[in-house]
Amino acid sequence: MTDSNAVLETRIEGEIAYLTFNRPEKRNAINDAVIDGLRAFFSDIPAGVRVAILSGSGGHFSAGLDLSEQVRREPLDVMRHSRDWHAVAQRIQLGGIPVVAAMTGAVMGGGLEIAAACHVRVAEPDVRFRMPEGQRGIFVGGGASVRVANIIGADRLTEMMLTGRTYSAEEGEHLGLVHYLTETGGALGKAEELARQIASNSSAVNYLVIQSIARIANMSAEDGLYTESLAAALSQTGADAEEGLKAFLEKRQPKFG
């Protein structure tokens, strides 16, 4: 199944959904139509899809927010727009299926905010990370102060925004923005390899990993441990747990439903 529009291309191949930012003439700057496309997909994930891969066309993941739509807005409009981004990023992070970002070229501003909501991030050597909002006279509004700061630390995010510093793909790997660094042209292939591996997991455990770990990180230690026990109790009962343990004892790959 393939569904394309002017800004977000969606392609389904078996258990994997391919979502591609499709504004190459603007380095895939994210406008309201892109956000609407992401919301539509993650609000109603097609049956049978177990993993999504998010990438950008034309050599760039995304250069960030499309500033041509943001020149003049009233304060309440800006706040509503920001909260809309937050809601969509929340759907990506906590929507129930793992999302792998295959990153190339510019991963900046709002593009980095979207990438930070993904669960696995793959980068080619030409990737450049930047938070240029300080040089644009605006503050971040798509979740960077929480998600990006959780990855690289509040201190380093502050420095990035104050100076407009650019980090390379290799530096991003050291910071935690990149989980897998590939050769040139290798990001999508690696993302597909990882997506197939993730899709072979128990979908119930994938769901629990996505739903639980991010929330536990925001809890007290005691509440986090209690929540971990609840997730363990849910995961260690039922058909998937039985199949996983059987497969281990029989020295074979499990076949989860």
The catalytic residues are 113, 133
Question: H helices of the chain, where?
Answer: 32-43, 75-94, 110-117, 133-136, 147-152, 154-163, 169-175, 187-199, 203-216, 221-235, 239-249
Cβ-based burial of 72 (10 A; exposed 0-12, middle 13-18, buried ≥19): exposed
* Of 60, 43, 71, 53, the residue nearest 15 (C-alpha): 53
DSSP β-bridge partners for residue 120: 100
* Of 8, 3, 17, the residue nearest 36 (C-alpha): 8
Give the C-alpha separation, 184 to 165, whole Å. Answer: 23
Please identify which residue in the block is written with the tokens 């709002």: 110
Q: Which amino acid is at 197?
A: Q
DSSP β-bridge partners for residue 166: 130
On whether the CB atoms of residues 19 and 30 are closer than 8 A, the answer is no
Give the C-alpha separation, 99 to 106, whole Å. Answer: 19
- Look at residue 13 and give its three-state secondary structure: strand
On whether the CB atoms of residues 210 and 236 are closer than 8 A, the answer is no
Q: Name residues whose C-beta falls within 8 Å of residue 139's C-beta, 6 or more positions apart in sequence.
A: 133
